[in-house]
Structure 1
């Protein structure tokens, strides 16, 4: 049986333990309810909220930047594609050597002055003088579906002009450019040589495509195929082609053809 002294010791120990636990729980409760604890907890929560908000803003800005970059890249690709389409046609080349032939449209003359400068940025090998020549060429192409590049003293040019202007009635009438009288005649002739492969005159262009010189026009006339060729290439841009010296019945047959 335990002694009385031992009982008192254990009783005192139990009382002390209860007092200590009560004190610690009370102190913890007071600490949680204190202004310092409350403000500290509030500051920590605000900091967490601020960090989360910054992260969301950063993600949002990153998404917008990425979207803007993708949009700019797409726009640049579209501009490049548009410029490339105007520079290198997959089929026939026009007089400017850069535009695809397209049915009834006169190529390379969509607007005065040739290609938009902000879209094509001028080719590396193209000088300002070359661009001025192209502007002049595009302006000439607007005059008529058929252009006769000639020289006033050239006998072959006179033969081609006689056939196309006197022997035939072509509507719209062919437009004549005398290169020896044009201030940019030499540059225009060089430009034609590069784009059509024909440096000599006359150089007859129909819908921007070279169809030959004086001897070619003479051969087409003698074989009675000139009118058909002009209609075939000119399409609806050429409203009428008629041989002035043909008999009425021949004219009717040609009209039916």
Structure 2
């Protein structure tokens, strides 16, 4: 059996533990209920709330900036794509002032290339023009657009050129085409050299004659002669001219586009 002395020591220790526990519990309670403790806790919490709010605001700003950046990139890409589509004409051909070039076609591998469309303005395909066009360049562009409105078929010619005479003979005398082809004699036109240079840049044909059908080059004198000899000139005029060509036939022949349309309707 433990001695009485040990029992007293043990009891004393138990009492001390209880007193210390009660004291610390009461001190902690008093501390938590004190104004200083409450103010300190409130201050810490407000700082935490403020920090969290700043972080949320920063996240929101980053999100908005990122969204705005993505929107700006998309708008820029769309704008660039529209510009290149308008300049390059997409995958099927090149656009020049609103008119799309014809693809290379027919059995003779002739290039049918586009030129400035009616109501549009010719563009420098090589990008060599100055940022601001001169008055003369503007006048040439206006004149070219005015010429293209004259007829679906334009013959850019020179009075002394034998190949031009050949093309004019076939289109004006061998065939009856309505509206009739419009002839521009570049050697007599005040803007003749400038028009020829512009046509060379846009169609790839720098010589005369240069025959345009619906704003697209179908070649020179030899090309027109080849179409005539292969009996494909009328088909070319009718297919490319569409409703703009009201009549196309050999002179002396009763066959015409309008008559053929009436026969189909009957």
- Mapped to 1, the partners of 2:220 and 2:158 lie a distance apart of 12
Q: Which aligned pairs between 1:25-36 and structure 2 lie closer than 5 A?
A: 25-36=25-36
**Residue in 2 that maps onto 1:49:** 49
**Residue in 2 that maps onto 1:205:** 212
- How far off its partner does 1:32 sit? 0.7
- How far off its partner does 1:33 sit? 1.1
**Residue in 2 that maps onto 1:191:** 198
**Residue in 1 that maps onto 2:181:** 174
**Residue in 1 that maps onto 2:121:** 113
Q: Which aligned pairs between 1:1-257 and structure 2 lie closer than 5 A?
A: 1-2=3-4, 7=8, 15-89=15-89, 90-92=91-93, 99-101=100-102, 108-109=116-117, 112-113=120-121, 124-127=127-130, 128-129=132-133, 132=138, 137-138=144-145, 140-152=147-159, 154=161, 156-165=163-172, 168-218=175-225, 220-221=227-228, 225-243=232-250, 245-248=251-254, 250-251=255-256, 255=260
TM-score normalised by structure 2 residue count: 0.69
Question: Relative contact order: is structure 1 or structure 2 higher (C-alpha 8 Å, sep ≥ 6)?
Answer: 1
Q: Which stretches in structure 2 are left out of the alignment for 5+ residues?
A: 104-113
Q: Which stretches in structure 1 are left out of the alignment for 5+ residues?
A: none
Q: What secondary structure, in the 3-state scheme, does the structure 1 residue paired with 2:63 have?
A: helix
**Deviation string, structure 1 residues 34-64 (Cα, Å, up to 9, x no partner):** 1221122122222222222222222222222
The question of whether the paired residues in 2 share the 8 Å contact of 1:157 and 1:214 is answered with yes
Q: What secondary structure, in the 3-state scheme, does the structure 1 residue paired with 2:200 have?
A: helix
Task: Report the number of matched residues.
Answer: 245
- Mapped to 1, the partners of 2:26 and 2:257 lie a distance apart of 121
- Mapped to 1, the partners of 2:247 and 2:205 lie a distance apart of 27
Q: What secondary structure, in the 3-state scheme, does the structure 2 residue paired with 1:147 have?
A: strand
**Deviation string, structure 1 residues 39-96 (Cα, Å, up to 9, x no partner):** 2212222222222222222222222222222222222222222222333344455677
